[in-house]
Structure 1
Amino acid sequence: MRISLLRSALYMVLAGCPVVSLQAQQRSDSTRTKDLREVSVIAPRGGKEIAPGQQLKGAELQRLNSQSVADALRFFSGIQIKDYGGIGGLKTVDVRSMGTNHTGVFYDGIELGNAQNGVVDLGKFSLDNMEEITLYNGQRSSIFQPAKDYGSSGSIYLTTLKPHFEEGEKRHLRGTFKTGSFGLVNPSILWQEKISKRVAASFSGEWTNANGRYKFRYQKRDKDNNALGYDTFAIRRNGGINAFRLEGSLHGVMNGGEWSSKIYFYDSERGLPGTMVNNRFIHVDKQWDRNFFAQSSWRKDISPRYSLMFNGKYAYDYTHYLSPDTAYFAENRYYQQEVYLSVANQFAVTKWWNVGLSGDFQWNKLDADLKKFSYPQRFTTLVALATSVSFQRFSAQASLLNTNMNEQVKLNTASPFRQELTPAVFVSWQPVKKIPVTWRSFYKRIFRMPTFNDLYYTDIGNSNLKPEFTTQYNTGLTWNQTFHGKMLQEIGVETDVYYNEVTDKIVAVPGSSQFRWTMMNLGFVKIKGVDVKVKAAWQLLNELLVSTRATYTFQEARDFTDKSDSFYGDQIAYIPWHSGSLIIGGTYRAWDLNYSFIYTGERYNMKANIPANYTLPWYTSDLALAYTRTVNKTRFRLTAQVNNLMNQYYDVVANYPMPGRNYKFILAVNI
């Protein structure tokens, strides 16, 4: 029965079927060659976005030359990246200090899941096949979307390249080769084929191999974190990676709609270099990951007033962890499966009033070779009712999400049935028609379920855990202005002030002895913050275009769990009070120059804000120079990049040293 269910779901996904009509973006560059990225998907009817997200796409994303999605996300305001170092190191994202598990990550419109620990490693996702990265606080302001899209405190949408062909074109081919520090060898290929007027195929493959070795500086400190001098330089070892990625997709259009199907496979072996404590520099832990998913979407405007969308996905994830050098030898294997089905409806009641209704079903299962393991399964149903109104200068959206969760286990006690009802309201208003200033605000209450590890991990799991809730209040202003025929062509400013609360926060606490811990709902965090984003573009000469983008974030995220704690009211771990970024890009004829800067201010690496836990600010500067040339309709692009230009030694996560100055060279060929 179980096999037939999974087989039927997989067939449904692979049968394929999404979405709306395609519209080509006309874009030219100084070399007058065509690009593989000239396509956009028209959003469902319902007016402009009430709360536009932060976005990196197209040429701006390409100029960053980042190795992974996580590296690019550092340039968004309100985000903190936990980076454990190196090419293969774990990289997770925390939006506005609410916790990694409250951020949903969507790959071509469907969420990436990890029911085991709730963490999506964004370091595994390459930018080689990426068209656009968008971050939404609260949620995306479309009401024509799956119910899952309403279910996160913040959402990251990763959109891959889609085929677009000019008249007479049938095939696009791009090969890329990256090499540089850490023994990096990283070839990739992107192939797009026009099958018919309405159907196109895309294939992307990539291999990443690196030894991960780099020099770092080890500093002795006393118990109060005072420096005792730099006593040694060492080589970071066991940070190598050998990873292989394959993606294949079909894209089709139909009258009033569009469909697509995708298959994704990722296989990696990487070392886990571990923490640098007690003069221990060498670790030999290993991890093997194998991820597969097949997903499909179908969307059609059934009539001028009614639109329908289906989504489906099957995912299988395998993790093998080996720790041979500890006093207690550990070798574990984990197997996850997921089936996801969704239907979304949108009704245009009038020209200015839309109503949406979405229903999702998701099944998750986790197996492991642990003793006394519970072997949990989770059955989730979500129903979202949403409505939006859109006028010339005023827009509003309200949604209500109903979530039901039921779990089953083979051993031990299952988590009880949960039902939660969570609202959200978004408003946008332009007070004066001739002044391009918009006020926007939102309120949202949402939760995240405890992960399988929280509930069932041997000895520390607690199946009675309640959901962890977040409540968000946000208000802000945006101003965007374009100038025709002027040196300053475009300028935009966005600022947001927000207050968040995290209640019933899931934390590990000591149990019957200091050696036996368990998971409990004990945490309460208050978060106050300000995000500022500024962008501008200048045409300084006839052929010199300069663009700038800057962000600044202030966050006060304080722990108010227990007044008896010595750290009551302290800033929570790894959240800096001040952080920011800067990107300056220049294009002159066939040359591109890009400078980027990241700053993370002082913070603490543990709950208690005491000198022993103090972590210094860090900053990095990256510089890249690219040259593009076209020969016989083939475009060559050569890039040289220096990362951490000032060779600063720093830790993002305490005792996980980051690389100093390092280099990368990229050759890309478009046919």
Structure 2
Amino acid sequence: MSFYLHFDRSKLSVLHHSTRKIMLFVCLSLGICSLKAQKDSVHVMKEVTVTAIPLPHLANTSVPVQTFNAANIAGMDALQLSDVVKHFAGVTVKDYGGIGGLKTVSIRGLGPTHTAVSYDGQLMSDAQNGEIDLGKLSLSHVQEISLANGDDEDVLESARAFAAAGLLSVVTKRPHLDSLHCIKGEAAFQTGSFGWEHPTFWMGNRLSRHLSSTLFLESQYANGRYPFTIHNGDSIQHLQRTNDDVHLYHGEANLFYIPDSCHRLTAKIFASNGVRGLPGAVIFYNPYAAQGQRLYDQDYFVQARFVSILSTQSSYALGAKAENSYSRYVDPYFLNAAGGLDNRFRQQEYDLSGAYARTWSRLLNLSLASDFVYNHLNANLAQFAQPSRFSSYTSVKERLHLNSFHAEAALLSTYIADRVALGSESPHHFRLSPMLSVSAEPFQIAHWQWRAFYKETFRMPTFNELYYTGIGNTRLKPEVAQQLNVGTSYWTSGQAGYLSVSLDGYYNRVLNKIVAVPSGNLFIWSMLNLGLVSIHGMDLSCRSEIRLTGTIHATFEGSYSYQSALDKTNAETSTYNEQIAYTPRQSGSGTIGIEMPWVNVSYNILCSGMRYDLSHSPLAGYSESSMAVWRSFQLHRVALKVKGEILNLLNEQYAVVKNYPMPGRSWRATIGITF
């Protein structure tokens, strides 16, 4: 990009001294890049136009894997990571309403605590409650999002990632720079309904031949005051949501050192600081119930990962992460002797991981991986246990490749040991968990694959479930999840486009499921191993792109899920053999887009069938549709992009979680430049 900068000396003199330094550094960096570019000889070539439809990531795998890249995400009405995850088949996102509400993900009815979230190769975690809030993660610099059930195909996958029933992987944007382009950047500003303001900035910098970096900065603000309608029989109230505001600041710095094609070192510094209102449940004639709750979050972590390919037969990876997070929950209207709640929690986590893979022959591949994790939680609660946890994960995998037949056998060992400063601690736990997967192309038809896998995993009770004052139960057993999957996938491509179809049927069984039940009265609860859930279902996903003319393409993405998740806990209860809470039997999504030289248009729809709430009362199904229009302009060496979106096009009034209404019709507008 060429920059044309003009400064008025009189105005420049009033700038802050540090700002001058930053601007001077940018100008010098651009000048150095220009000098480097002038050293190379330049040959002017005639313009060559290449027209082809790019294929998505359609690798045949022995487990179901779904992927969306940045181009797919651009056509969705996605503001947060959770908005994209809703389009994956077999996924249930629990959304507590609006921008500030929590968003958690459950895969195939197993619950949020059985889903791991990987962020640029290292797992995110929360030992306190075991659930990752997807509302905290930005989409503005995401390159790819993938969801794997069972196992990831990476031979250097960490043992801790393999320990989860499902893995949601997020990969952020990497710099693609050379000696002629040592700096690339993007800046955007988004605004919309309910006071939404979202400026973002991303820059990639080529520091040397082997060293590059990226910087990402963003802030988010919204007042969250959206109108909604609540029905109670023949009575109707038109209200406005309150206490749904968001103030968030987030920054990341990444370093990439690639000395050659066989070695790669990546490092990340992550910082996030935010405060948001937690919108309470809306009660008829009392819309202010549970208002005033505030959540203050601070998350900081550093991580690094080194990958080395020793030869064509062997490779290894090393990873490390250190994280410190602080959360403060305030409820001034909570009825207690202190006149409200002001709970403060601080977590530390340290993670060391290593993986080694070796190919013994053309047929066999062995991989070993180990993770060592330390967690500690402290709080300002009276008589709090202050628990610490040491976790060790070790996995062994053997893969067989024989023509079109592939098989994998794996075994995971997990050891968990807790220590507490006050009270009794949970017993130590050790468990071996097996996995077996096979895939083949039995009909000798390229790109038509059949697959099956069985996997057993378990998840340790969280610190809150074990040690929360007055509620925790240190004798809880870990939940055990048994997964069985059989499926097929087919894809084909040609000059006119491509088509990809995937179909999977599955059966899951969760033993020792942890549930909260009243103990003594409705204000004192305890955690018990009472749950047994039996789940069977089907996931169907389809993706296609068709060339209508030489410059006009049509895209389609769709998913459908059927899920029967039955409570098998106690035959004496009214919920026995009934669908578990907030899990629809049927759900689906679809995206249709048309890419044209003058404008791009997309239409999205999300559908969910009837669900039950925690009291086993039915919640009506819903569908939400949206539309987006965007256009990119090339202005010299700067690309300008303008996008407009209408969300909840039909102004559907619905709630994903009972008494937590979602926003009605709204709009967003984005303008951005790429240089």
Q: Partner residue of 2:292?
A: 284
Distance in structure 1 (CA, Å) of the matches to 2:224 and 2:363: 55
Provide the secondary structure at the position in 1 that maps to 2:659. Answer: coil
Q: Partner residue of 2:234?
A: 229
> What do residues 532-587 of structure 1 show as CA deviations (whole Å, max 9, x unaligned)?
01111111111110010110000000001011112111110011111000001110
Which of 377, 387, 390 is the equivalent residue of 2:398? 387
Q: How does 1:231-246 map to 2 (within 5 A)?
A: 231-246=236-251
Is the contact between residue 571 and residue 607 of structure 1 (CA under 8 Å) also seen in structure 2? no
Distance in structure 2 (CA, Å) of the matches to 1:662 and 1:408: 49
Is the contact between residue 545 and residue 587 of structure 1 (CA under 8 Å) also seen in structure 2? yes
Which of 648, 654, 660 is the equivalent residue of 2:658? 654
> What do residues 640-669 of structure 1 show as CA deviations (whole Å, max 9, x unaligned)?
000000000000000000000000000110
Q: Partner residue of 2:607?
A: 599
Q: Partner residue of 1:297?
A: 305
Report how far residue 181 of structure 1 moved: 0.3
Is the contact between residue 64 and residue 149 of structure 2 (CA under 8 Å) also seen in structure 1? no
Which of 497, 515, 529 is the equivalent residue of 1:521? 529
Distance in structure 1 (CA, Å) of the matches to 2:583 and 2:661: 18
Which of 618, 622, 626 is the equivalent residue of 1:618? 622
Q: 1:161 to 1:528 in 2, by over 3 A?
A: same
Q: Partner residue of 2:146?
A: 134
Q: 1:32 to 1:340 in 2, by over 3 A?
A: farther
Q: Partner residue of 1:369?
A: 380
Q: Which amino acid aligns with 1:618?
A: Y
Structure 1 residue 251 corresponds to structure 2 residue 280 = no
Q: Partner residue of 2:488?
A: 477
Q: Which amino acid aligns with 1:242?
A: H
Is the contact between residue 245 and residue 267 of structure 1 (CA under 8 Å) also seen in structure 2? yes
Q: How does 1:273-352 map to 2 (within 5 A)?
A: 273-282=279-288, 283-328=291-336, 329-352=340-363
Distance in structure 1 (CA, Å) of the matches to 2:566 and 2:615: 10
Q: Which amino acid aligns with 2:220?
A: T
Q: Partner residue of 2:635?
A: 631
Q: Partner residue of 2:464?
A: 453
Structure 1 residue 143 corresponds to structure 2 residue 147 = no
Structure 1 residue 263 corresponds to structure 2 residue 265 = no
Q: Partner residue of 2:208?
A: 196
The Cα RMSD (Å) is 1.9
Report how far residue 229 of structure 1 moved: 2.3
Distance in structure 2 (CA, Å) of the matches to 1:571 and 1:497: 18
Q: Which amino acid aligns with 1:233?
A: H
Q: Partner residue of 1:532?
A: 540
Distance in structure 1 (CA, Å) of the matches to 2:522 and 2:71: 53
Report how far residue 32 of structure 1 moved: 8.9
Report how far residue 278 of structure 1 moved: 4.4
Q: Which amino acid aligns with 1:478?
A: S
Distance in structure 2 (CA, Å) of the matches to 1:483 and 1:504: 50
Of 163-172 and 569-578, more deviation after overlay is shown by 163-172
Which of 68, 75, 91 is the equivalent residue of 2:87? 75
Q: Partner residue of 1:57?
A: 69
Is the contact between residue 572 and residue 607 of structure 1 (CA under 8 Å) also seen in structure 2? no
Q: Which amino acid aligns with 2:380?
A: D
Report how far residue 111 of structure 1 moved: 0.5
Q: Which amino acid aligns with 1:116?
A: Q
Of 265-274 and 143-152, more deviation after overlay is shown by 143-152
> What do residues 325-348 of structure 1 show as CA deviations (whole Å, max 9, x unaligned)?
232311110000000001111111
Report how far residue 632 of structure 1 moved: 1.2
Number of aligned residue pairs: 619
Report how far residue 464 of structure 1 moved: 0.8
Distance in structure 2 (CA, Å) of the matches to 1:49 and 1:148: 20
Report how far residue 277 of structure 1 moved: 1.5
Distance in structure 1 (CA, Å) of the matches to 2:500 and 2:82: 25
Report how far residue 231 of structure 1 moved: 2.0
Report how far residue 514 of structure 1 moved: 4.3
Is the contact between residue 31 and residue 630 of structure 1 (CA under 8 Å) also seen in structure 2? no
Structure 1 residue 418 corresponds to structure 2 residue 429 = yes
Q: 1:265 to 1:625 in 2, by over 3 A?
A: same
Q: Partner residue of 1:501?
A: 509
Which of 223, 226, 239 is the equivalent residue of 1:214? 226
What percentage of aligned pairs have identical amino acids? Answer: 32
Scaled by the length of structure 1, the TM-score of the pair is: 0.90
Report how far residue 77 of structure 1 moved: 0.5
Distance in structure 2 (CA, Å) of the matches to 1:269 and 1:101: 24
> What do residues 209-261 of structure 1 show as CA deviations (whole Å, max 9, x unaligned)?
110110000111xxxxxxx1242100001100000000001011133121100
Q: 1:471 to 1:607 in 2, by over 3 A?
A: farther
Provide the secondary structure at the position in 1 that maps to 2:161. Answer: helix
Higher CA-based Rg: 2
Is the contact between residue 77 and residue 604 of structure 2 (CA under 8 Å) also seen in structure 1? no
Q: Which amino acid aligns with 2:268?
A: K
Provide the secondary structure at the position in 2 that maps to 1:64. Answer: coil
> What do residues 413-467 of structure 1 show as CA deviations (whole Å, max 9, x unaligned)?
0111110100111111001223532101110000110000000000110011110
The answer for unaligned runs of 5 or more in structure 1 is 1-29, 221-227
Provide the secondary structure at the position in 2 that maps to 1:56. Answer: strand
Is the contact between residue 64 and residue 504 of structure 2 (CA under 8 Å) also seen in structure 1? no
Q: Partner residue of 2:97?
A: 85
Is the contact between residue 143 and residue 388 of structure 1 (CA under 8 Å) also seen in structure 2? no
Provide the secondary structure at the position in 2 that maps to 1:421. Answer: strand
Distance in structure 2 (CA, Å) of the matches to 1:638 and 1:513: 56
Report how far residue 86 of structure 1 moved: 1.2
Report how far residue 308 of structure 1 moved: 1.3
Q: Which amino acid aligns with 2:549?
A: L
Distance in structure 2 (CA, Å) of the matches to 1:436 and 1:333: 53
The answer for unaligned runs of 5 or more in structure 2 is 1-46
Q: 1:144 to 1:551 in 2, by over 3 A?
A: same
Q: Partner residue of 1:409?
A: 420
Is the contact between residue 253 and residue 259 of structure 1 (CA under 8 Å) also seen in structure 2? yes
Q: How does 1:25-36 map to 2 (within 5 A)?
A: none
Report how far residue 50 of structure 1 moved: 2.5
Is the contact between residue 31 and residue 629 of structure 1 (CA under 8 Å) also seen in structure 2? no
Distance in structure 1 (CA, Å) of the matches to 2:140 and 2:670: 11
Provide the secondary structure at the position in 2 that maps to 1:465. Answer: coil
Distance in structure 2 (CA, Å) of the matches to 1:59 and 1:465: 45
Distance in structure 2 (CA, Å) of the matches to 1:195 and 1:345: 30
Provide the secondary structure at the position in 2 that maps to 1:71. Answer: helix
Distance in structure 1 (CA, Å) of the matches to 2:115 and 2:594: 33
Distance in structure 2 (CA, Å) of the matches to 1:352 and 1:142: 17
Scaled by the length of structure 2, the TM-score of the pair is: 0.90
